[in-house]
Structure 1
Amino acid sequence: MTHPDSLTFHHINEPVPGERWQLLFQALWPGYRSWYLQDGDAARPDLTRAADALRRFMPELVPTWRRLVELADGDPTAARMLTLFDPPRFLPGCAQLAVRHPEPTLVRNYDYHPDLLERVIYSSRFADRWVIGTGDCLWGLLDGMNDDGLAVSLTFAGERGSGPGFGIPLVVRYLLETAATIADGVDVLRRVPVHMAYNLMLLDRRGRSCTVLVRPGRPAEVFDLPAVTNHRGTTPLDPAHAARFRSVERQRALFDLLDAGAHRGDVVDAFLRPPLYNTEFERGFGTLYTAAYRPAAGTVDYAWPGSRWQLGFDSPPGIHDARYRGAVDALA
């Protein structure tokens, strides 16, 4: 497959997990179960260890986790997987940029294999905050925003090793559920262990931003860096990986946009063109969506070469057919 013809994205608006989440679980659990147990059952932590880790590091999520386990009919393997503690490895690409004009906006491309994308945008209020973001691992997030005006997105940081810790989608969920400010978010990323290396970009409604590099067994590093791809700061952790995915080239393109004073609309358009837009879908390096989070407005604009979709915390459930074939060919 060179690239998909189209993908259907679903917006779920369900403040507390219920019937819609249960339907999502029933549809996706067979695939997630195979992924979670790909190295054998013994390679994953037992339920006691996984639940203890969740209670220790992210206690605010425990009531929702218990609700999800109930909706999953108490399946013990699902209960383990939903903690996302010590999961299998995964390596998305991605690029992200903090734009300040005409309003603070976090723009990101998500680059991965189309078969490994949930294609779900989830609006929820699990506790005290409304959160909207792109779903992964059934209740984690690849990027998102809360109603305190904090937005965050992730990219892989280019270091292939792994260690004890949580899968990053659940950490993003936790950050948005508990953090009101960038400082709060940085504190979360300094405290919660992660199982692989990632860059997290944080932006608030006043235009303040930072990038945090998290790595298993290492202290989090905070950078005043508004343009991020798949390496540490401006120096690759793995030069071969960075060269394979053109990480430095794509970061330079982001800096060029900032130097040119590009506004949000121009930036989103640039994210839909090479070198930021990628088409190696079959190798896990195809741009599956562009998202532009606007924390002051409380909206997110999803963009594809052939269409756009704007959503807010209170947008009703819906579907959107994102077109790739033809629109992507025109870029070649």
Structure 2
Amino acid sequence: MQLNWRAISEDEPGPKWAGLFHEYWPDYHRWWAREGPEARPGFLDSHKALRAHMPELLPLYDQLCELAGGTDHAARFLSFYCPPPYLSSCSQAIWPGEEPVMVRNYDYSPKAFDSLTLRTKWQGRTVMGTSDGLWGLVDGINDAGLAVSLTFGGRRVVGDGFGVPLILRYVLQTCETAAEAGKVLARIPTHMSYNVTVVDAQRRYLTALMAPDRKTVITHQAVATNHQERVEWASHARFTATVERERFLLQRLTLHVEPEEKFINAFLRPPLYSTRFDQGFGTLYTAVYRPQRLQMELRWPRARWPFDLNDFHEDLRLIYTPEGQAQDT
């Protein structure tokens, strides 16, 4: 499987973002409308939900809707309000060294992935991370040194709330510390269950166990895989080995704290690294976030791609999975 991975920087919403949207929109539209557009909330309900829970994003949302062409379906999609359900299988952990480091594997279908690292300076806040839905993020970091990442929470329940990639965008646009992020994650409704881990430049971290049908639980967990306080979806847990991956990471963090590089490399091998691409749960990348340095790095078994928030270089690379090879083009 080949991914044409791009790194793109645009300070304000403009022609680069508009070009990306129109390129990706046909596939996203088919996904968003697969149950019929009437299955998704209308524009007024979507706009009202954004105004109630993430009002700071409304001016940005309006800009993006205009760049997307101003159509009803595009605006409803970009609200991320009550999107179609989707599943992923990820692992993330905070390495407890002198410098805070967050490491995560993103396991998902390569056919439903932006393959895009996006750096923006929207509303005066510099953010870079892995794009989803073209303004949502599945992981990222901002100029305050706050890093955030998500995993699926391993529950079937779907409710009224936002797709979590937009929640991560909101956290990075509006928060500077783990404590501030925790307050945001505790109040914003999510449409499915997710575990969101945040770490700031002062080494403070937390994991929020979010769900559409119960109150968010804020924990001091340094590890998150694909269940919450207990396994609630047994077949999914077995298929993704969520308990085994959690146990593997906890042992590496508690029984013997190993060097940073050795810990990161463990994400590039089983049981954390998955090659189930044909089943939608292959490891598309490993991300390493260093909040104090304002840096992120993407890794594969035989390749690395570093990024610096203040020295970001646009590029295109061909990523091959599951072999994990990458080369410049």
Q: 1-side partners of 2:220 and 2:65: how far apart?
A: 39
2:169 corresponds to: 173
Deviations 1:40-99 (A, max 9, x none): 111011111111111111111111111111111211110111001011001111000001
Q: 1-side partners of 2:298 and 2:136: how far apart?
A: 18
Partner amino acid for 1:197?
Answer: S
Partner amino acid for 1:324?
Answer: T
1:243 corresponds to: 238
Match of 2:58 among 34, 59, 62: 62
1:79 corresponds to: 75
Deviations 1:309-329 (A, max 9, x none): 00022302112222335458x
| Residue 205 (structure 2) pairs with residue 209 (structure 1) | yes
CA contact (8 A) 2:176 2:200 kept: no
2:315 corresponds to: 318
| Residue 20 (structure 2) pairs with residue 24 (structure 1) | yes
Secondary structure in 2 aligned to 1:28?
Answer: helix
Deviations 1:284-307 (A, max 9, x none): 110000000000000001001121
| Residue 42 (structure 2) pairs with residue 46 (structure 1) | yes
1:253 corresponds to: 248
Secondary structure in 1 aligned to 2:74?
Answer: helix
| Residue 265 (structure 2) pairs with residue 269 (structure 1) | yes
Per the TM alignment, residue 265 of structure 1 is displaced from its structure 2 partner at its CA by 1.3
Q: For the structure 1 residues 207 and 249, does the alpha-carbon distance in structure 2 shift closer, same or farther, using more than 3 Å as the test?
A: same
CA contact (8 A) 2:142 2:173 kept: yes
Secondary structure in 2 aligned to 1:29?
Answer: helix
Secondary structure in 1 aligned to 2:183?
Answer: helix
CA contact (8 A) 2:150 2:195 kept: yes
Equivalent residues, number: 323
Identity of aligned residues (%): 41
Partner amino acid for 1:130?
Answer: T
2:102 corresponds to: 106
1:135 corresponds to: 131
Per the TM alignment, residue 102 of structure 1 is displaced from its structure 2 partner at its CA by 4.5
Deviations 1:207-247 (A, max 9, x none): 221111010031110111111100013x2122222112100
Q: 2-side partners of 1:67 and 1:262: how far apart?
A: 46
RMSD: 1.3
1:163 corresponds to: 159
Q: For the structure 1 residues 218 and 326, does the alpha-carbon distance in structure 2 shift closer, same or farther, using more than 3 Å as the test?
A: closer
Partner amino acid for 1:265?
Answer: E
Match of 1:190 among 183, 186, 192: 186
Secondary structure in 2 aligned to 1:107?
Answer: strand
Query: After the TM superposition, which parts of structure 1 deviate over 3 Å for at least 4 consecutive aligned residues?
Result: 325-328
CA contact (8 A) 1:95 1:108 kept: yes
Secondary structure in 2 aligned to 1:127?
Answer: helix
Q: For the structure 1 residues 325 and 111, does the alpha-carbon distance in structure 2 shift closer, same or farther, using more than 3 Å as the test?
A: closer
Q: TM-score, normalised by structure 1?
A: 0.94
Secondary structure in 1 aligned to 2:122?
Answer: coil
Greater alpha carbon shift after TM alignment, 126-135 vs 77-86: 126-135
Q: TM-score, normalised by structure 2?
A: 0.95
Secondary structure in 2 aligned to 1:218?
Answer: coil
Secondary structure in 1 aligned to 2:216?
Answer: strand
Any unmatched runs of 5+ in structure 1? none
Q: 2-side partners of 1:327 and 1:238: how far apart?
A: 30
Q: 1-side partners of 2:213 and 2:322: how far apart?
A: 42
Secondary structure in 2 aligned to 1:61?
Answer: helix
